[in-house]
Amino acid sequence: MNGILNTNKPPDCTSRDVVNAVQKLVKPARCGHAGTLDPMATGVLVIGVGAATRLVPWIQQGHKVYRAEVRLGVRSDTDDRTGRLTEGRVDRPPSADEVRQAAACFVGDIEQVPPRFSAVHIGGRRAHALARKGVEFDLTPRRVHVARFDVVDYAWPRTVCEIACGSGTYIRALARDWGEALGCGAILEELQRTQVGSYCLDAAVDVETLRRDGVEPHLLPLRSAVPTLPAIACNEDDVRALLQGRSIAVDFERLLRDAPRSSYPAVSGDDAAPASQECALVTAAGCLVAIGTLGRDGRAAPHTVFPIEAGSSPLT
């Protein structure tokens, strides 16, 4: 059993709880999630099953979209409603324009200090474990990318926002820093992840549906995890070579005839182009066999291979 599950995480459980529930349904195949959601959060939790667990790093690189409810005028030691709350003093609630202007300052590449109650490692221990014991420690700022920070609705003290961001961004920390920029503090009240890469909430399934239907009807193909990688179609001999970890020759002339030259900078003839290009190596039917690098030497070398299940054809 190999494939991707686009699941809808319910509130008040951990991401690990969802994975454990799926694990019971797919054993002896293993599974793992691509990107943790806090227990209070809901929405898209992508799970790799079987060989698809090898695709987790690529899934995690996909952009994320969130719908968040933020309460202004209050602070929390966890940066959300689950922590110890402290009401802030507010002489004048910020206007809608001020709220939106402050949000715009967090778009782009920003430095973000993770929440103290987070899974970040501090000297080999999780930050949240140290924070619960009252241990003092410093967290190093991290560079993260926020592509979009839209204020959808605002009526003091609550705001509803839609945020698109890169991997590693803490929405709790974003809400906290936004509140500080407004001078009144803020906490995250509700959070729903609506998209991870190509996986969207409207197509996500909950665990109860998986228990009722079984997992296999809801498994998505491995190729769905790397939709932006340029694909190279392989013949029968190529597929056999890839499954043995061997590189294959690539017909550059045909490749550039069938796809935009810009898709394959490694073979574009531009001296400034990179020496290699990551690519998806697929069967004639479009099934992912391997992820590899396409080099100027005219060969594609696999670095992550997805073995075909016993009894199935590697060519379909």
Provide CATH code, domain 64-196: 3.30.2350.10
pLDDT in tens, 39-76: 999 999 999 999 999 999 999 999 999 999 999 999 99
Decide whether 3-62+198-223 matches 64-196 in CATH topology.
yes
Query: Which pLDDT score is estimated for 283?
Result: 92
Tens digits of residue pLDDT in 172-215: 999 999 999 999 999 999 999 999 999 999 999 999 999 999 99
pLDDT 10s digits, 276-298: 689 999 998 889 999 999 887 88
Which pLDDT value is given to residue 120? 85
Banded model confidence at residue 264, pLDDT cuts 50, 70, 90: low
pTM: 0.88
CA dist 210 → 25, 30, 182, 193, 206 (Å) = 8, 16, 44, 20, 7
pLDDT tens for residues 205-259?
A: 999 999 999 999 999 999 999 998 989 999 999 999 999 999 999 876 666 556 5
Residue extents of the structural domains in the chain: 3-62+198-223, 64-196, 229-305
Catalytic residue flag (residue 38): yes
Superfamily (CATH H level) for 229-305: PUA domain (2.30.130.10)
In 3-state terms the chain splits into helix, strand, coil percentages (rounded to 5) of 30, 35, 40
From the candidates 12, 17, 38, 251, give the one annotated as an active-site residue. Answer: 38
Q: For the chain, what is the HEC assignment?
A: CCEEEEEEECCCCCHHHHHHHHHHHHCCCCEEECCCCCCCCEEEEEEEEHHHHHHHHHHHCCCEEEEEEEEECEEECCCECCCCEEECCCCCCCCHHHHHHHHHCCCEEEEECCCCCCCCEECCEEHHHHHHCCCCCCCCCEEEEEEEEEEEEEECCEEEEEEEECCCCCHHHHHHHHHHHHCCCEEEEEEEEEEECCEEHHHCECHHHHHHHCCHHHCECHHHHCCCCCEEECCHHHHHHHHCCCCEECCHHHHHHHCCHHHCHHHCCCCCCCCEEEEEEECCCCCEEEEEEEECCCEEEEEEECCCCCCCCCCC
CB-CB contact of 22 with 33 (8 Å): no
Which residues sit opposite 5 in a β-bridge?
47
CATH number belonging to the domain at 3-62+198-223, selected among 3.30.565.10, 2.40.110.10, 1.10.1040.10, 3.30.2350.10: 3.30.2350.10
pLDDT digits (tens, 9 = 90+) for 83-123: 999 998 888 999 999 999 999 999 999 999 999 888 888 88
Q: Specify the pLDDT at position 40.
A: 94
Contact call for residues 255 and 273 (beta carbons, < 8 A): no
What six digits make up the tokens of 225? 């995890």
